[in-house]
Structure 1
Amino acid sequence: MANEGLYKGSCFCGEVQFEVTGAPVAMGYCHCSSCRHWSAGPVNAFSLWQPQALRVTRGASNIGTFNKTPISYRKWCTKCGGHLFTDHPTLGVVDVYAAMLPELQFEPGVHVHYQETVLRIHDGKPKMKDMPAQMGGSGVTLAE
C-alpha cells in the first residue's frame, strides 16, 4: 500500500489522542447496518490496521467500549462521545475510521456488506456481498 508513515487522530474534543504507524492493511467502505447506525451515515469509510500499529497517546482512561457482537468492539471518548476506532479481534485488525486520520490519503479498494447498502456508489471498486473469503465472508461480489 502506498501510505506509510505516522498518522495522528483524536476524538471530537481532543481528550483522547492516538496514532497509527506504517501502512493500513486495507481501506474501503462498509455498508452494513451496524456501521451505518454507529456512524450515523449511509456508509462508513474504514482503514484497517494491524493492532500493534495503533497507540493511544493521551486519554486512554476516557475510552469507552461497546460490543454489539464478538466481532466489533467499538471505541469512543467518554467525555465527548466522539468515535475513535473499532477493534476486530476475531479478524486480527483494528478499524480506524478514515475520517479520524486527516493526513491519511484514503485509497479505498473495496466495498463490504454491499448487500445492505442504502447508498449505491458507482466507482468501479469490487462490491462484496458480505466480506472477502480471507476474512471469513462468502467472497461473493455483486454488480454495481
Structure 2
Amino acid sequence: MALLSSNLQGRTKGQIMLTGRCLCGDITFEYEGPLGPVALCHCSQCRRAHGSAFSASAPVQKVRFRFLSGEDQVQEYESRPGKYRAFCNRCGSHLYSRVDAIPGILRLRVGVINEPLGKGPAQHVFVGSKSDWFEITDDLPQFEKTERTNDPH
C-alpha cells in the first residue's frame, strides 16, 4: 500500500490541477502544481518494469499529490533498497516511483495523466544502458546516468 497523505498541503489558488488514473480506472488521483522536467529513462530496471525502450516520468511534490480513489489498490515494489515502484494491483499500471533518499518527491509516470502536458520530454537519462534496438533520434540532452551524478535512481 502507498504511504502518501490524502490531503493536499499548501494549496495555492489558481495553481495548475492535473488528474490521472490507472488503466482499469480503479485508482484516480490529482496533482496541484507544475510538473518538473519530463525525463525518458533508459535504465534496465525501467525498461523491464515498463516492457518498453524507456519510461517517461516527471518529478512532482509529494505533498501536492492526492489519491481520489483506489489508494488501497496501490502496490509498491521495492526494486532496490530504498527505491519503490508503485502500480495498480488490479491492472498493473505504473503510477510513480519514489526513493527514500528524496522523501518529498515522486517521479510520476506521465502516461497516466489525463490532461495534455503542453510540453515534451526534456532529456534522456541512463542512456549508457539503453536497449541496443532503440535509437535516440532527437536533439534532447543525453546523460550517461542522470543530469546530477548524485541523483539516486
User: Match for residue 78 of structure 2?
Assistant: 67
Partner in structure 2 of residue 127 of structure 1: 142
Q: Which residue of 2 aligns with 1:79?
A: 90
2:147 aligned with 1:136, yes or no? no
Unaligned regions of 5+ residues in structure 1, if any?
138-144
1:26-83 deviations in whole A, cap 9, x for unaligned? 2120000000000110111111112112111111111111011135211111122222
Residue identity matched to 2:144: K
Looking at structure 1, the residues matched to 110 and 50 of structure 2 have their Cα atoms a distance apart, in angstroms, of: 12
Contact 1:88–1:95, Cα closer than 8 Å, also in 2: no
2:107 maps to 95
- Partner of 2:26, secondary structure, is coil
Aligned to 1:38, what secondary structure does the other structure show? helix
Question: How many pairs were matched up?
Answer: 133
Aligned to 1:141: none
| Counterpart residue number, 2:10 | none
Identity among equivalent positions (%) equals 26
- Residue segments in structure 2 that go unaligned for 5+ positions in a row: 1-14
CA RMSD of aligned residues (A): 1.7
TM-score (ref. length: structure 2): 0.79
8 Å CA contact retained: 1:74, 1:85? yes
The CA distance in 2 between the partners of 1:5 and 1:63, in whole Å, is 24
Output aligned runs, 1:105-124, within 5 Å. Answer: 105-118=118-131, 119-124=134-139
Paired residues of 2:21 and 2:114 also in contact (CA < 8 A): no
Pairing 1:9–2:24 present: no
On the 8 A contact 1:25/1:50 being kept in 2, the answer is no
SS at match of 1:99: helix
TM-score between both structures, scaled by the size of structure 1: 0.83
| TM superposition outliers: structure 1 runs of 4+ over 4 Å | none
> Tell me, what secondary structure is at the counterpart of 2:31?
strand
